[in-house]
Structure 1
Amino acid sequence: EFSAAMNSRNVKRIEEVNALRTTQFAEDASPLAHPVRPNSYIEISNFYTTTIYEKGAEVVRMLSTMLGQDKFRTATDLYFDRHDGSAATTEDFVVAMEEVSGLNLQRFRNWYSQAGTPVIKVEESRISDTITLHLKQFCGPSPNQPSKSAFHIPISIGLISIDGRDVLGQAGTASKFDVKVQSDLNFENPNGDGTLAFHFDCEEATIAIAGVPPKSVVSFLRGFSAPVKVNFPRSDTDLLHLASLDTDGFARWDAAQKVLGSMIATPTSDLQSAKALLEKLTHSAMSAPDDGETKALLASAMTLPSAPYVLDQNPGRDIIELDRSRDGLLSQLGIALEDSWEKIVSHNVSDNPYQADGKSIARRSLSHLAMDYLGASIQQREPRTAWNLYYDLYQRCDNVTDRLFAFSRLLRLDASFAEQKSVIIQDFHDRFNESALVTDKWFSIQAGCTVSGTLPRIIELATHPEFDLHNPNRVRALLVTFATVNHREFHRMDGKSYSFLADKILKLDSLNPQLAARVCTPLTRWQRYDLGRQERMRDTLERIRRDCQSKDLREVTQKSLGA
């Protein structure tokens, strides 16, 4: 909340959702899935997880969405007045929400007791000026939970007119729209805006909206109102409309990610949808106000989805092929819109001293995004020009943010710059070796460098005088970054990276078993990968299970292998 208030609220929400989708959703789909309120454990330290923290925070956010800001504040005041100084429970918190709101939250309690990520399937039909949405929810089996009861899911829905105005709620009324909404679900307009919050607390439901203006498009799960997956087939035309005009920042970003993600998953598909999307967004970027919000949101919307995100939509695919497809799309879109990327970079260069205010952060984000596309465009035909693009920024910038960005991009260029890379690596280290935090970044940027064949460098860094298994932050910077960010090298088919990580985990187990169990997490997600990698990851987990000493690591590996 602090970061959202200080900078871009939309971008902060997008960052939260990105982390939840790539990390917590993967945990929910793994053998280590557990409820927000676990019923049992072997080692309590293994439950300092993204499910407990991030998903737990989303449960609280859902209550805020359902009650609206004013009632939620009243309910939290009641909770603190009633339980301050006592050992309160989640049940105490939910009871306070019920008393203030008058809502029946019996099925909402399933969020605390049931593991897994619910999936909402949406079917849309249009007859004349009426849109009908048919919703179904389901949640697959989890360890010790073969079947689940329906969750109480707040679904925030909007409707965007052809000219980008909200059609629903008080905002729609203010714009003279006259629509009628009918549903077997309870719903309200809790914040008096263009969003209706529906209480989806059953397995199936229908929402009908009559009097819809022509070519209006449904905006679904606005603000990411619940930690769920959505299966809602949309046309590219509808997604482009939402990505360009939706008044909800998250929904705009999510629509853009769907268009770009589908291009990564099917690299042989027509590039026109992605190109049309970025043509609109780059045009907006070149005239975007310096308000600290618009440019930051555009930068997020134009950032290509990560390979793990696309893999979650297409389990069993080859992660390295997806990563290469992403790079290919970056290059194609860089070439197609090269003039626009150059203009965006030049429009957002500042000769003023570094500032950490929202406006400057947004400009840097947009400039870095444009430089990514521009660098991908020119490095194939003019590798030296690509090097100079990033090297010039590295040398002239007056802040660590720009220098970290330039440093990371220089390392991603091809092997013909090996000598220059060595000089840059040493230069960056010499500039910042007295700062532990920036030195962590020095390790993590090298660990995350996706150039093929970097495993020997990772092994070398693990013997560096400043790498220490006794230092948890340094371990995370090198080992966790390597296993979670460097998909191309960590998931190499010979399994050598898995073996390297296992060696380090087993050494770490005798020093810090809690951290060893955390570092093992990427291997526990083996089920989403292709069969060849699944086999190698399971073999690695079996080796760790056999040789580990701690309860922490034994619990994690046994549960992972028991799936």
Structure 2
Amino acid sequence: MTEAKPGTAPQPIFRKDYRRPDYTIDRVDLRFELGENFTTVHASLAVRRMHDTPAGAPLVLDGENLVLKRVAIDGRELPADHYVAGPTSLTIADPGAAFTLTTVVEIRPQDNLELSGLYRSSGNFCTQCEAEGFRRITYFLDRPDVMARYSVVVEADRARYPVLLANGNRVETGELDGGRHFARWDDPFPKPCYLFALVAGDLRCHDGEFVTRSGRTVRLEIWVEPDNIDRCAHALRSLQAAMRWDEDTFGREYDLDIYMIVAVSDFNMGAMENKGLNIFNAKYVLARPDTATDDDYDGIESVIAHEYFHNWTGNRVTCRDWFQLTLKEGLTVFRDRLFSADMGSPAVARIGDVLALRTNQFAEDSGPMAHPIRPESYIEMNNFYTTTVYEKGAEVIGMMRTLLGAAGFRRGMDLYFERHDGQAVTCDDFRAALADANGVDLEQFGRWYSQVGTPVVRARGDYDAAARAYTLTLEQAPPRGRDGGELLHIPVAVGLLGPDGPLALRLSEETAASGDTRVLELRERSRSFRFEDVPAAPVASLLRGFSAPVELEVERSDADLARLMAADPDEFSRWDAGQELARRVLLRLAGDVEAGRELALDREFVAACARILGDERFDGSLKALALTLPNERLLGQQQQVVAVDALHAARQFAVRALARALREPLLAVYKATAPQGPYRIERAEVDRRKLRNLALGYLVALGEPDLIRLAVEQFELSDNMTDSEAALACLIDHGGPERDSALARFHARWHKDPLVLDKWFALQAVSTHPDTLDRVLALADHPDFNLLNPNRARSLLGAFGLRNQHQFHRQDGRGHALVADKVLALDPHNPQVAARLVAAFNPWRRFDAARQQSMRAQLERIAAQPGLSKSVREIVDRALAPA
């Protein structure tokens, strides 16, 4: 990372400027003397000069916030004039061709509020080294293309830190003088330093085992704080399921003797895939029916699997440089999506993926932080752990699997691992392996890696009754607001629906087929596909399964969408048609609000919703998804200028109008789905709870005392967090004494449980009630609010700024001022979290003049702050840059 000189702006790093390091490191021996006032780190590095590096070239190691105590080469102390220790580096002139470098440094983990490098959390030591945290531990070549084998000794006070963990296999433990002890760990596989991990503390272990397909027994350990030992069973089951799935689906077997997970309370990310020692945000480990919702259980399963799958896609094969981040993250997100689909409902999983992509990544694509999945430059790498790199990256991987088929994709993955095990490689290397394994050309497809924004696909259908033929013309266009652009290779999954249902498809040319679906490959600017023997004018079902991350433009009537909702065999497309119809209805209502016209909900839309509620082909989760109206952020993306107040009024009206129209069937559903017995985390039970809580939400929106009482009773009597949280959310939106009583009772019961208390903050932050901003302002001063805890900051400020469009963008600007105040307060301590909060201001140009002025003023206030971090500076400068 290039450091800016005092008084100068940070300079970007460019992908085109990549060059191999002059030196590499083959072996790393570390010894940590953990202490209460400071920690001493002894490092012994086996270094060699690269063959093409000129003799005499200096060795430049990265280092930040280190106090250098000793430096030696091959056991000889270096005199002071042989090296330069600066604020961000250690430079040694002409160290030789191959040598052992020894350094001793002191660091202060207890003062490390950035939570990058080695820090203390709840009295325990832990690390976070991705992307560039290892340089805060010791001097090193802190870059992913330097892969070494590590041996680590951790020494600490036994009473305070009885558990000492690091990467690899535990090879030795023992006692030391003064009540101290040690543990030695050895990792036989080369890894980059960003995968280094260390944990020391007073922890408890929930253990298990897994027998690999080759017959090895792997010990599984989940380490948590003592009070949380009863919340680990689901995480262990999820890990075992992921290990078995990866063997069955991709042939990948785990390679060490032990696999460990540690849950910590203070963590900037969701989790980290350090080799053999995953460090997790406690949110993605701890679950018990009374503290975790169904969504929490699913999230834990997904994240546990994601970090495990990194063992091969990220650890054994890693990325050459940080521009290639999607190589490991996009690919591993795709793998965990396949796993989640296999563990539950493929349709529900896919709908959830696409809903998140459209809400978050499409917005990112249209804002000032838009970038390709493989960025061309960055100032602060932590800013590029984005939905584009992760979620859109996963979509790009999914398109290749769609084009190659499941078997072809597996062949490509096998070749990728065979070629590159133990290497740091590029996105192009991955794509080449898939292409070579299948004898196909993916050169044009590779443009997805450099494409910025969301492409547009336009579709037009023409039916020739005399010839009984239907011609579908597809055209690709650049993202909105962007000119030109190279032609992409876009898979468009298509089906046709006639008056009596799905039609058999006969094309004039061969395409990939799956049942009544054909995958059309759009490579040109425009291409027409002719379907033969079509008995009547069909309705085209386009982008089935969301086969490409594009915006679709096609003329379809409300009646066409209703037909797709009723008869499309593709469950995702049925949901998507319903969402498109709902978007139209809500946007028309928003127009009526702005024009001052009387509001009325479209009768056909109400009838369509009633049909879904009674449709036995939908399970409870699918019904809940289909009957949930598009959120205000998604609706705003459809407008040139986001009509904040009109969209909110329209959606609130639609919720109440739909509830009035369907009051009796909703009430019948609520009563029919009452729990029969204690909580069970089973798919049928999850479906039941999803539908019941959706019905409760609509019913409480009517504000009738007897319906409010349903929520109060559910809150009071529920034996699980899913139903308790859903009832509390309804009461918060309703307001009144019922809300205040429920919030007080929830807080009284759970105020000592950090993860549950995060829910208490978040539910209030996203509420639709008119007094939400005042409540959030008060909560920001609440004794239980801790700005320096990432989960707590996200639960209140992140939820408010990024999810509550109406309240954050209030006309008076107080919501903007609140978040800006907290960004400025947090930035000196934790720039990563501050940068994520400030991203709420990115779309400021899409709002009306008054709101633009308010947000711009806050961005300029943040930009003027002396000593602003690179993380926040980069985002604010890009937001303020001329459009």
Is 2:848 the partner of 1:530?
Answer: yes
Query: Take 2:508 and 2:825, find their aligned partners in 1: how far apart are those partners?
Result: 61
* 2:765 counterpart (426, 429, 447): 447
Residue 666 of structure 2: aligned partner: 341
* 1:385 counterpart (690, 706, 710): 706
Once the two structures are TM-superposed, the CA of residue 48 in structure 1 deviates from its matched residue by 0.8
Secondary structure (helix, strand or coil) at the match of 1:223 reads: coil
Residue 177 of structure 1: aligned partner: none
Query: Take 1:252 and 1:217, find their aligned partners in 2: how far apart are those partners?
Result: 13
Once the two structures are TM-superposed, the CA of residue 463 in structure 1 deviates from its matched residue by 1.5
Secondary structure (helix, strand or coil) at the match of 1:31 reads: coil
Query: Take 1:537 and 1:121, find their aligned partners in 2: how far apart are those partners?
Result: 34
The answer to which of 108-117 and 542-551 deviates more is 542-551
Ranges in structure 2 where 5+ consecutive residues have no aligned partner: 1-337, 593-599
Query: Take 1:99 and 1:282, find their aligned partners in 2: how far apart are those partners?
Result: 48
Once the two structures are TM-superposed, the CA of residue 161 in structure 1 deviates from its matched residue by 3.7
* 2:568 counterpart (246, 251, 261): 246
Q: TM-score normalised to the size of structure 2?
A: 0.59
Once the two structures are TM-superposed, the CA of residue 454 in structure 1 deviates from its matched residue by 2.0
Superposition pairs for residues 364-443 of structure 1, below 5 Å?
Answer: 364-376=689-701, 378-379=702-703, 382=704, 384-414=705-735, 417=736, 419-443=737-761
Query: Take 1:238 and 1:540, find their aligned partners in 2: how far apart are those partners?
Result: 45
Is 2:559 the partner of 1:559?
Answer: no
Is 2:515 the partner of 1:193?
Answer: yes
Once the two structures are TM-superposed, the CA of residue 232 in structure 1 deviates from its matched residue by 1.1
* 2:550 counterpart (195, 218, 228): 228
Query: Take 1:238 and 1:64, find their aligned partners in 2: how far apart are those partners?
Result: 30
Secondary structure (helix, strand or coil) at the match of 2:488 reads: coil
Q: What do residues 480-522 of structure 1 show as CA deviations (whole Å, max 9, x unaligned)?
A: 1001222221111011110111000001110111111111111
Please tell me whether the aligned partners of residues 259 and 273 of structure 1 are also in contact (alpha carbons under 8 angstroms). no
Secondary structure (helix, strand or coil) at the match of 2:340 reads: helix
Letter in 1 for 2:876: T
Residue 174 of structure 1: aligned partner: none
Query: Take 1:542 and 1:210, find their aligned partners in 2: how far apart are those partners?
Result: 60
* 2:478 counterpart (130, 139, 162): 139
Query: Take 2:443 and 2:819, find their aligned partners in 1: how far apart are those partners?
Result: 44
Query: Take 2:627 and 2:397, find their aligned partners in 1: how far apart are those partners?
Result: 30
Secondary structure (helix, strand or coil) at the match of 1:313 reads: coil
Comparing both chains, which one has the higher relative contact order based on Cα–Cα distances under 8 Å and sequence gaps of 6 or more?
1
Is 2:646 the partner of 1:321?
Answer: yes
Secondary structure (helix, strand or coil) at the match of 1:354 reads: coil
Secondary structure (helix, strand or coil) at the match of 1:470 reads: coil
Once the two structures are TM-superposed, the CA of residue 545 in structure 1 deviates from its matched residue by 1.1
Superposition pairs for residues 483-498 of structure 1, below 5 Å?
Answer: 483-498=801-816
Residue 282 of structure 1: aligned partner: 613
Query: Take 1:265 and 1:254, find their aligned partners in 2: how far apart are those partners?
Result: 16
Closer/same/farther in 2, CA of residues 137 and 532 from structure 1, 3 Å limit? farther
Secondary structure (helix, strand or coil) at the match of 1:275 reads: helix
Q: What do residues 290-310 of structure 1 show as CA deviations (whole Å, max 9, x unaligned)?
A: xxx722112211111111111
Residue 165 of structure 1: aligned partner: 502
Residue 311 of structure 1: aligned partner: 636
Query: Take 1:522 and 1:348, find their aligned partners in 2: how far apart are those partners?
Result: 38
Residue 46 of structure 1: aligned partner: 383
Once the two structures are TM-superposed, the CA of residue 315 in structure 1 deviates from its matched residue by 2.9
Query: Take 1:326 and 1:270, find their aligned partners in 2: how far apart are those partners?
Result: 11
Once the two structures are TM-superposed, the CA of residue 107 in structure 1 deviates from its matched residue by 1.6
CA-atom RMSD in angstroms: 1.8
Query: Take 1:312 and 1:57, find their aligned partners in 2: how far apart are those partners?
Result: 22
Is 2:670 the partner of 1:351?
Answer: no
* 1:87 counterpart (424, 434, 438): 424
Residue 103 of structure 2: aligned partner: none
Residue 792 of structure 2: aligned partner: 474
Query: Take 1:215 and 1:505, find their aligned partners in 2: how far apart are those partners?
Result: 56
Letter in 2 for 1:80: F
Query: Take 2:363 and 2:827, find their aligned partners in 1: how far apart are those partners?
Result: 24
Query: Take 1:34 and 1:494, find their aligned partners in 2: how far apart are those partners?
Result: 32
Query: Take 1:313 and 1:167, find their aligned partners in 2: how far apart are those partners?
Result: 34
Please tell me whether the aligned partners of residues 308 and 319 of structure 1 are also in contact (alpha carbons under 8 angstroms). no
* 2:824 counterpart (484, 503, 506): 506
Residue 7 of structure 1: aligned partner: 344
Please tell me whether the aligned partners of residues 728 and 739 of structure 2 are also in contact (alpha carbons under 8 angstroms). no
Secondary structure (helix, strand or coil) at the match of 1:520 reads: helix
Residue 122 of structure 1: aligned partner: 459
Residue 160 of structure 2: aligned partner: none
Higher strand proportion, which one?
A: 2
Query: Take 2:497 and 2:413, find their aligned partners in 1: how far apart are those partners?
Result: 33
Query: Take 1:252 and 1:328, find their aligned partners in 2: how far apart are those partners?
Result: 24
Query: Take 1:223 and 1:467, find their aligned partners in 2: how far apart are those partners?
Result: 41
Letter in 1 for 2:484: S
The answer to which of 63-72 and 316-325 deviates more is 316-325
Please tell me whether the aligned partners of residues 140 and 147 of structure 1 are also in contact (alpha carbons under 8 angstroms). no
Query: Take 2:649 and 2:464, find their aligned partners in 1: how far apart are those partners?
Result: 42
Query: Take 2:821 and 2:601, find their aligned partners in 1: how far apart are those partners?
Result: 44
Query: Take 1:332 and 1:16, find their aligned partners in 2: how far apart are those partners?
Result: 29
Q: TM-score normalised to the size of structure 1?
A: 0.91
Letter in 1 for 2:716: Q
Once the two structures are TM-superposed, the CA of residue 373 in structure 1 deviates from its matched residue by 2.2
Once the two structures are TM-superposed, the CA of residue 215 in structure 1 deviates from its matched residue by 5.3
Closer/same/farther in 2, CA of residues 166 and 103 from structure 1, 3 Å limit? farther
Once the two structures are TM-superposed, the CA of residue 146 in structure 1 deviates from its matched residue by 5.2
Residue 172 of structure 1: aligned partner: none
Please tell me whether the aligned partners of residues 137 and 204 of structure 1 are also in contact (alpha carbons under 8 angstroms). yes
Q: What do residues 311-341 of structure 1 show as CA deviations (whole Å, max 9, x unaligned)?
A: 1112313122112211111111111121211
Please tell me whether the aligned partners of residues 320 and 487 of structure 1 are also in contact (alpha carbons under 8 angstroms). no
Query: Take 1:3 and 1:391, find their aligned partners in 2: how far apart are those partners?
Result: 33
Once the two structures are TM-superposed, the CA of residue 166 in structure 1 deviates from its matched residue by 5.0
Residue 310 of structure 2: aligned partner: none
Secondary structure (helix, strand or coil) at the match of 1:23 reads: helix
Q: What do residues 230-252 of structure 1 show as CA deviations (whole Å, max 9, x unaligned)?
A: 01121112211111221111101
Secondary structure (helix, strand or coil) at the match of 2:491 reads: strand
Once the two structures are TM-superposed, the CA of residue 356 in structure 1 deviates from its matched residue by 0.9
Please tell me whether the aligned partners of residues 141 and 148 of structure 1 are also in contact (alpha carbons under 8 angstroms). no
Rg larger in structure: 2
Letter in 1 for 2:729: S
Letter in 2 for 1:188: A
Identity, in percent, stands at 38
Query: Take 2:712 and 2:537, find their aligned partners in 1: how far apart are those partners?
Result: 47
Letter in 2 for 1:280: R
Once the two structures are TM-superposed, the CA of residue 277 in structure 1 deviates from its matched residue by 1.0
Residue 285 of structure 2: aligned partner: none
Q: What do residues 163-195 of structure 1 show as CA deviations (whole Å, max 9, x unaligned)?
A: 433523xxxxxxxxxxx3136xx7321xx4221
Ranges in structure 1 where 5+ consecutive residues have no aligned partner: 169-179
Closer/same/farther in 2, CA of residues 215 and 203 from structure 1, 3 Å limit? closer
Secondary structure (helix, strand or coil) at the match of 2:377 reads: coil
Letter in 2 for 1:428: F
Higher helix proportion, which one?
A: 1
Please tell me whether the aligned partners of residues 700 and 734 of structure 2 are also in contact (alpha carbons under 8 angstroms). no
Once the two structures are TM-superposed, the CA of residue 270 in structure 1 deviates from its matched residue by 5.9
Secondary structure (helix, strand or coil) at the match of 1:131 reads: strand
Query: Take 1:332 and 1:489, find their aligned partners in 2: how far apart are those partners?
Result: 22
Once the two structures are TM-superposed, the CA of residue 217 in structure 1 deviates from its matched residue by 2.3
Secondary structure (helix, strand or coil) at the match of 1:155 reads: strand
Once the two structures are TM-superposed, the CA of residue 7 in structure 1 deviates from its matched residue by 2.1
Residue 353 of structure 2: aligned partner: 16
* 1:261 counterpart (575, 578, 583): 583
Letter in 2 for 1:346: K
Please tell me whether the aligned partners of residues 7 and 357 of structure 1 are also in contact (alpha carbons under 8 angstroms). no
Query: Take 1:235 and 1:434, find their aligned partners in 2: how far apart are those partners?
Result: 54
